[in-house]
Copies of this chain bind each other. A is one copy, B any other.
Amino acid sequence: MAGESYVAVVGSGEADAGQAWLAEEVGAALAEAGAVVVTGGLGGVMEAACRGAKSRRGRTLALLPGDDRRAANGWVDVAVATGLGELRNGLIVRSADAVIAIGGGAGTLSEIAFALKTGTPVFGLGTWDTEGIVAATDAADAVARAIRHASSAVS
């Protein structure tokens, strides 16, 4: 429902084992908190976050860059094939009340920057060291902070 929190989990489509583990923990904790997990719908951090969410019966929304919904990873509940290319990074942020960034390259940086520009809080786990990001100590900390901000955003 629209009154719930939506939290985006952003990061590289090619995560290493540590990042994937973090993302899965983040997804699971978000699901336990009742939040919808928003991602770009592809692999790596995106897939791990979705897998974590589904492991706790959470809900996952994917905003894909291409126009073929079948590009979504297998843990996505609802996918939007935006066909917007990298512009969909901005839609991911716009759809979320808070952003959790895990590792990541230039695409993740664009999401972080978009969030900072539009006043959406960003909680970081081993990601870019950009002014304005709140460094979280672990997955639970990132989720707790994100949920707190997201809840105040929607209430």
A135 at the interface (CB under 8 A from B): no
Main secondary structure of the interface of A (DSSP, over half): mixed
Within 8 A of B (CB), among A90-110: 90-91, 94-95, 105-107, 109-110
Chain multiplicity (copies)? 4
Tell whether, in the assembled complex, residue B95 and residue A106 are in contact, meaning their CB atoms are under 8 Å apart.
no
Q: Which of B63, B90, B106 contacts A116 (CB 8 A)?
A: B106
Give the 7 A-B CB pairs with smallest separation, nearest first. A110-B113, A106-B116, A109-B113, A106-B117, A2-B72, A87-B90, A107-B117
Say if the beta carbon of A6 comes within 8 Å of chain B.
Answer: yes
Interface status of A59 (Cβ within 8 A of chain B): yes
Among residues of B, the one whose C-beta sits closest to the C-beta of A90 is: B87
Closest chain B residue to A60, Cβ basis: B78
Contact among B2, B6, B95, B114 for A86, CB-based, below 8 A: B114
The answer to whether B110 and A106 have CB atoms under 8 Å apart is no
